[in-house]
Amino acid sequence: MYFKNKFKNKKVAVIGHTGFKGSWLTAWLNQLGAEVAGFSKDIPTTPSHFELAHLDQNILDVRGNIVNYNEILKFLTDFKPDILFHMGANAIVSDCLEHPQDAFLTNSFGTVNVLEAIRHTPSLKSVVIVTSDKCYENIEWEFGYRENDRLGGKDPYSASKACAEIIFSSYFRTYLQFMPHLSIATARAGNVIGGGDWAANRIIPDCIRSWTKSESVQIRNPEATRPWQHVLEPLSGYLLLASELLEGVEGLNGESFNIGPKAEVNKAVSALIEEMQHHWKNVKVDIDKSHHLNKKEASLLKLCCDKALNRLGWMPTLTFNETVEMTALWYRNWHEIPVSVKEFTDLQIKSYGDFASKRGMVWTKN
């Protein structure tokens, strides 16, 4: 029984449920006994974790666009959720670079529509808006960014996520703080890996696409370091945040929370790939030395997660090796026994809960 059983029989809406994070969240909410309804524009990739795990079977599965206010309002009005997770976005940095208007329309204006619809959904008690670690103005320092550091972002994806945070702050201070039944917060995470991601231009999906064809993979920035995080880690943070907001715990409403790995989990891309190799057979890894670390491109953006620890008691569960092992094993299982994706996803969520429980994570305690 996790999160003090607060999701059992609750009506939970997930915007972006067909995506990478949304599909894992949907599977976890199913295990927690929630009644789930998902709202997404499309199935963003082929293959798709959402489809392979047959996640449409136990939920209300709705196609709609947050850019169209009436569609998102109708979804929330019809379903009458207690809890909402908003993770619908154009989440691919390179895609946003190519289509900046869509980035701002979806990630910024779409968030206006979601918040406006929230304002007109009286059933809602707890809401988590997912943005990104990229919402901070990256001034290239070596310290972790804190929630009150300057927002910014040069590229359209980052700027659109910073805009979403500013829009949230305006809506909260102008309207939402005066809704006594509602508690709402934003969560900022980044560099998520895990099974079931097939997005374009992300390092793990790129490897899997090559390795399943027994092709070598080109690594652009082998020395670049990133704070890698398994997808279930931020989800445990979002779920804990939502469950505490539901209780009306003080110090959370209207706030933003960084959700990231421990500082020592900053590892080079090459270390990530080498660790993946241990769990995936017969691969050739071609490290392209001509594209060595470009300092500007690889600048590190670390998060300071002390606020999540102090106010929620949240901290990450997995080591770097466990994070990569879980990721590689998921893809290997999918490749070898594709029919068992649903069972394997459920198994990994249970294993993650066991790890967290043994390590005394706050959300595993009664």
Ligand X SMILES: NC(=O)c1ccc[n+]([C@@H]2O[C@H](COP(=O)([O-])OP(=O)(O)OC[C@H]3O[C@@H](n4cnc5c(N)ncnc54)[C@H](O)[C@@H]3O)[C@@H](O)[C@H]2O)c1
Q: Which of 199, 249, 287, 309 binds ligand X (CB under 6 A)?
A: 199
**Beta-bridge partners for 13:** 37, 84
Closest residue by beta carbon to ligand X: 19
- Residue 1 or 166 having the CB closest to ligand X: 166
Q: Which of 44, 153, 196, 205 binds ligand X (CB under 6 A)?
A: 44
Would you give the binding string for ligand X spanning residues 263-302, x where CB under 6 A is met? ----------------------------------------
Q: Which of 189, 246, 301, 303 binds ligand X (CB under 6 A)?
A: 189
**Beta-bridge partners for 230:** 193
Q: Which stretch binds ligand X (CB under 6 A): 38-46, 249-257, 288-296, 302-310?
A: 38-46
Q: Give CA–CA dist 257/14, Å, rounded.
A: 19
- Residue 39 contacts residue 75 (beta carbons within 8 Å): yes
Q: Which residue has the tokens 């997770």?
A: 85
Would you give the binding string for ligand X spanning residues 319-358, x where CB under 6 A is met? ----------------------------------------
For the chain, where are the E strands, in sequence order? 11-15, 35-40, 60-63, 83-86, 126-130, 183-188, 192-193, 217-219, 225-227, 229-230, 256-258, 266-268, 285-287
Q: Which of 47, 51, 58, 65 binds ligand X (CB under 6 A)?
A: 65
- Residue 78 touching ligand X (CB under 6 A): no
Q: Which of 110, 153, 196, 316 binds ligand X (CB under 6 A)?
A: 110
- Residue 97 neighbours by CB under 8 Å, 6+ apart: 155, 156, 157
- Residue 138 touching ligand X (CB under 6 A): no
- Residue 194 touching ligand X (CB under 6 A): no
Q: Which stretch binds ligand X (CB under 6 A): 34-42, 75-83, 204-212, 275-283?
A: 34-42
- Residue 40 touching ligand X (CB under 6 A): yes
- Residue 176 contacts residue 168 (beta carbons within 8 Å): no
Cα separation values, 345 from 55, 113, 255, 349, 363, Å: 11, 32, 31, 6, 20
- Residue 49 touching ligand X (CB under 6 A): no
Q: What is the 3-state composition of the chain as percent helix, strand, coil, each rounded to the nearest 5?
A: 50, 15, 35
Cα separation values, 126 from 137, 185, 311, 366, Å: 28, 9, 16, 20
Binding site for ligand X (CB under 6 A): 16, 18-22, 40-42, 44, 65-67, 87-91, 106, 110, 130, 132, 189-192, 199
